[in-house]
Structure 1
C-alpha cells in the first residue's frame, strides 16, 4: 500500500520489495582481502554477531526485565533502556535484511520461529536454540523446494516457517493438540479410577457391599457403559 501511494512513479518491483530476491544477492559484492563476498552476507553476519553478543552479555537482565519489570527496576536494571536497545537492534536487523530478503520474509522470521519454539518448550534458553534451528530448517528446506518448484525463494522460506509452526501446533510435546488430547484422555482415565476406588471403599465390608460393589451398580451409579 505504501509503495503504491508514495512510489507510484518510481521504477520499482513491488514483488522484490515484499519478498526480496535472495537468488541475486551474490551479484552485489564487496572485496574483503582477496575474496569477493556478497554484501548481504557481510551485513547480516555482522548483525548476527552483534545480536548474539547483546543477548549473551545481557541475558539475565533481559530475562528479568521482560518477565518482571518491577523487579528489574528494583534491582536498578533500567528495563526501559534494555527495551529500546532491543528495539534498536531489531530495527538494525530489519534494515540489514531488507535488501536481501524483503519485508515479508523478515517479518515471518521475526515472528514465526520464536512462536514455534514457544510451543515446544518453556525454557527461555531452549527457545533461542529451537527458534534458530527452525529458522535454519525453514531456510534450507524453503530454498530447495523453491528451486524444485520454480517459485519465489523468499516466499517458500516464509511458507516453511508456517509449516513448522503447524507441526509444532499439532504434535508439540506439551502444547500440541495431540499431546493435549492424550493428556485429557489420561486425566479422564485417572479420574475414573479414583471414582471407582472411592465407591468401592465407601461400601467395603458394609451391609450394602454385595449390592453396591457389583458391575450393575457401577453402571447405574457411575453411569459407565457395559465395557
Structure 2
C-alpha cells in the first residue's frame, strides 16, 4: 500500500500537482458543498499512422475527440496466467486512458501476446498491446504523449505507453516496469500503476526470454502471457 501511495503521488507531482485548486486547505475543509458540476472532459487529436512508423495495422476506427478527464480508470487484463489490474489516471493522461478504453471496448487486445521482455540491468519491462504479436503493430491512429516520465526514470510497478521513434506516435502498446528503470528516457506517457497481478509479471520475467530469439537479454518471453480479454472501467 505504501508503494502504491508513493507511486500515485509521483504521478500527480509529475503532472504538476493535478487536482490542486490553489485554495487554502482549511478553507476547502469548511467550504459548503457545491452542486455537482458536469464531468470534466479533454479534447484529443487522433492522427493517422505515419508511413514507416508501423508495419501491421488493425483498424477499429478512432475514439471520440472529447474524452473523460479528472477521473481514475481501471484496466483489467484477463490473461492465461491470471488477472492483472492497472489503475490509470485520466487527470494526467486523458487521451491515453481514453484510447485504451476505446480499444478494449472493440476487443482490440483480446488474444494478443505480451511480445517483449527486457531482462537487463537497464531494461526491466514487459511489453504488451500489439494484436499482431510482432512489436510492429497497433491501431490505425496515433496520438501525442502526455505526462512524460520523470528524468530519473520509470519506477517499479508503473505503466507507460510505448511509442515509435518520433514524438506524437503513441499507440496501443504499453510496458510494465517490473523493476526501477532509471535508464529509460522520459519519452513515454506515464499512465498508471499495477495494483494487482504484479506477481504474474515477475513470474514471466523470472522465466527469461526465448534463448534463440534473445538480443542482449531482450526478446519474446519464454513463459507466454496472453491477454485473453481486456476491459477498462472509469471510476
Q: TM-score, normalised by structure 2?
A: 0.24
Higher helix share: 1
Q: Which has the higher contact order (CA 8 A, sep 6+)?
A: 2
Which structure would you say has the larger Rg? Answer: 1
Higher strand fraction (1 or 2): 2
Structure 1 length-normalised TM? 0.25
